[in-house]
Amino acid sequence: MSAPLGPVHILGLGRLGGALRAAWSDAGVPWVDDPSQAVTVVITTPDDAIAEVAASLAGRLRPGAVALHCAGALNSAVLRPSGAAAVGSLHPVQTFARPDAGHRGPHAAPGGQGRDEGCERARRSG
């Protein structure tokens, strides 16, 4: 049996982070405001900020936590400084409206990259 996606914490609640949070909330995924309480931490900041955000998580994640990012130009290795038990990347194959637009479009078919639990959690996110 695979581990649950949530509780989830998203860092970067712009278009992508807001859309993921709305879709996963609609699916019943629980949320936490503190990354140290999350089973899955998803970084949806601009690509050039991901390494810095991942490094800021070092020592703050719970044991067994998975870290994911959504940058198509980066592989999951950029998340290793976070100290997460597993890392991966999630690539939803669609564009996203502003979170406040209220659009709940069809679910995207996510692509992913990573190993072990990080990639598995990314695959289950869709």
> pTM for this structure?
0.77
CATH number of 8-124: 3.40.50.720
Q: Where are the domains of the chain?
A: 8-124
Q: Omega of the bond prior to 7 within 30 degrees of 0, cis?
A: yes
Tell me the pLDDT tens digit for each residue of 6-38: 899 999 988 888 888 888 888 889 999 999 999
In 3D space, the residue among 89, 118, 11, 19 whose CA is nearest the CA of residue 55 turns out to be 11
According to DSSP H, which parts of the chain are helical?
A: 15-26, 50-56, 116-124
Rounded to whole angstroms, the Cα distance separating 111 from 79 reads 17
pLDDT of residue 27: 86
